[in-house]
Amino acid sequence: MTAEGMPEVNADFGAYPTVEFTGDAPNGLRVAELVEGDGPLVRKGDTITVNYHGLVWGSDSPFDSSFDRHQPASFAIGVGQVIKGWDQSLPGHNVGSRLVVSIPPQYGYGTRGMPQAGIGGEDTLVFVVDIISTR
């Protein structure tokens, strides 16, 4: 499934993400809901559990993926525990949703990037996120 300006991503909640890039990264923080879940709404301050798959825009292989580890991640959202792009894009979506999020450097790891993960200071990040639970 494709949202305008976003990569092509399989829209099957829980399935291993496939991501195909075409063109340049969009400007600004962008989120597209590929699957709308029917579970509880995620709110700032909630502790959420997600599966995620993170790539640098245009890359073939992820720099981090809870799908690869077969181990979802849990954290508080909207309170600074994760990158700004996640804090700003995940609240307001329901459990059971699959999102694709395009995160420019200022909402990711900034101008320093994260060299140990292969992320440069100019890189746009793309995450496929399945929201598993919230509390």
Q: Do 25 and 103 meet the contact criterion of CB atoms below 8 Å apart? A: no
Place of tokens 């063109």: 23
Confidence at 2, pLDDT banded by 50, 70, 90: low
Whether the pLDDT of residue 73 is over 80: the answer is yes
Query: The domain 8-134: what is its CATH number?
Result: 3.10.50.40
pLDDT at residue 3, rounded to an integer: 73
What average pLDDT does the segment 17-34 reach?
96
Q: Is 20 left (phi over 0), alpha (psi -120 to 50) or beta?
A: beta
User: How many Å from the N-terminal Cα to the C-terminal Cα in the chain?
Assistant: 29
Whether the pLDDT of residue 88 is over 70: the answer is yes
Identify the helix (H) or strand (E) that includes residue 9. Answer: strand 8-9
Tell me the domain boundaries of the chain: 8-134
pLDDT at residue 1, rounded to an integer: 58
Chain segment 27-43, per-residue pLDDT in tens: 999 999 999 999 999 99
Confidence at 4, pLDDT banded by 50, 70, 90: confident
> Beta 64-65 vs 73-76: how paired, if at all?
unpaired
Place of tokens 């990040």: 125
